[in-house]
Amino acid sequence: GSTHRHGNVARRDRATRGELVHAAVDREGVTRGEGRSARAEVTLDIFLLEKERLLKAAAFYPYLVYPITNQEGIHLSFPQLVAQMPFNNEADYRNYLSRIDALPRHIDGLIEQMREGMKSGWVAPKAAVRAVPAMLQQLREELVTGNLGLPFREIPGTIPKGVRDELAQAGPAALRTRAAPALQKLEEFLRSEYLPAAREAIVNAGGAEYYQFLVSASTELRAAEVHALGLKEVARIRAEMAAAIARTGFKGSFKEFVVFANNDPRLFASSPELLLARYRRIVNRASTGLPRLFLNVPAEELVVKPMQALGADKQGAAYYEAGAADRPAALVINTSKLETRPLWETETLALHEGVPGHHLQAARARELVDLPAFRRFGWYGAFGEGWALYAESLGADLGFYRDAFSAFGHLNAALLRAARLVADTGIHTQGWTRQQAIDYLAANTANAPADNEVEVDRYIAAPGQVLGYKLGQMKIEALREKARAALGERFDLRRFHEALLDNGPLPLPLLEQQIERWIKSEAKAALPEKAAS
């Protein structure tokens, strides 16, 4: 059955409660010191935190709150999945045909879940779903001729001719008879039922209490404190940006510089190929400097490739795509609307999404084969995005941000993460309108106008998600300063980075515990043998 069936969700909740009971019993065994390793204890701590959070979420609403939006959903994830699939032999093609065959069941479950949300008031804001029907229509109209049909147009010659001929017919037929009607059904449901029921208000469906629960994934602070912290950080970074702008030699106000930086043709690539080549050069340069900052540099390859065209105008400038056994990890670059992709943002973006950001962290986690899979491949937004934002700040140590425009781009990225604290909490706790949030970003960052709209629509569609970047980075920097103060001259940045990354992704409270243990261990190791005993 579909992963969106409600019975499955109810079973998951029952299973979670049962797992928690067993885990609680198990936890008693650990605290009595019955032979569990420190790594096993951390695993149990993570398991408990995850399950407890699932139960708290289910108390508000037991299903995915916004199953489909302008920026996430089956209309984007299915083409992305197909783009990642191997197509080397007949079995690969049979897998794809099975997925096409399952698409109607998945979409039926999706519609069922959204109808449930309509009954109980958990409905997306119109702003978050308004563009989806047109995106579904475009996907449906290009099913056979577009990227979903591409594998059937390029069947390898190593597959026997009789099988090739059969697949070349079966594939397009399945897209037309299975995928197209299902996508049309979802499109019509959205147009005729869901959009009319969608909320005009952009505040999250669960109100202030639910939003505070979402905030708690990144911090113990209240939403109002996060808002105030954001305002303070915006003011601090704006002062640094003024100095960077002065270094460019530009004469004029911040607003005038923003217009210049987003419109001067010299600051943009003239073709997608040139933009991709620039990112490749940055990744190569960053990679050569990593041993200065890291003891364990993952061997896994990182390639640079363009983003799929469908939905690119609703996406940011770049994202990271994890690797698998049959494909390398990728830094995926948005090459649509080149006039909105300034070159001054490329260094800080490549470091965030690639190395030493998401790729280094995720690839290192995948190498930790002594950890269970859920720890190696897990995701905690405040850790993952906090690390990637922290990684941007390592650019100066790697020889980046030397020219004033790149320094400005780095500060603008930092400024955006601080402004997110203000705008996200503004929307969900202070009654801000969509336009008010867009205007705030326009007044306080150098983002292109189109990017500000995408940004704000993201805050509307995924409340609280963007807070983890800045809050996670600030936690990592605070832990670094704590370690430096405690260890003095014995502080080694490479060993600190190893301590941060070599437990895999961690919720921030557990990360803090691990670093505190590491500081004690480092301090003890530095003592003379007699004093340490």
Cα–Cα distances (Å) from 220 to 29, 413, 507, in that order, read: 29, 24, 12
Residue (of 89, 78, 130, 11) closest to 453 by Cα position: 130
| pLDDT value of position 421 | 98
Q: How far apart are CA 365 and CA 361, in angstroms?
A: 6
Would you say 432 and 420 are in contact if contact means Cβ atoms under 8 Å apart?
A: no
Torsion of CA 274, 278, 284, 287, to 10 degrees: -150
Enumerate residue ranges in the chain where pLDDT < 50: 1-7, 25, 30, 32, 530-533
In terms of Cβ atoms closer than 10 Å to its own Cβ (0-12, 13-18, 19+), residue 415 is buried
Pairing between β-strand 318-321 and β-strand 329-333 as defined by DSSP bridges? antiparallel
Specify whether the CB–CB gap between 218 and 381 falls below 8 A.
yes
pLDDT at 23: 53
What is the structure's pLDDT at 324?
A: 82
Tokens coding 192 = 């005729």
Judge if the upstream peptide bond of residue 328 is cis by omega within 30 degrees of 0.
no
Alpha helices of 394-448 — where are they, by DSSP H?
A: 404-429, 434-444
pTM of the model: 0.86
Burial of residue 372 (number of CB atoms within 10 Å: 0-12, 13-18, 19+): middle
Domain boundaries, the chain: 6-60, 74-197, 216-468, 474-524
Distance separating alpha carbons of residues 261 and 408, to the nearest angstrom: 10
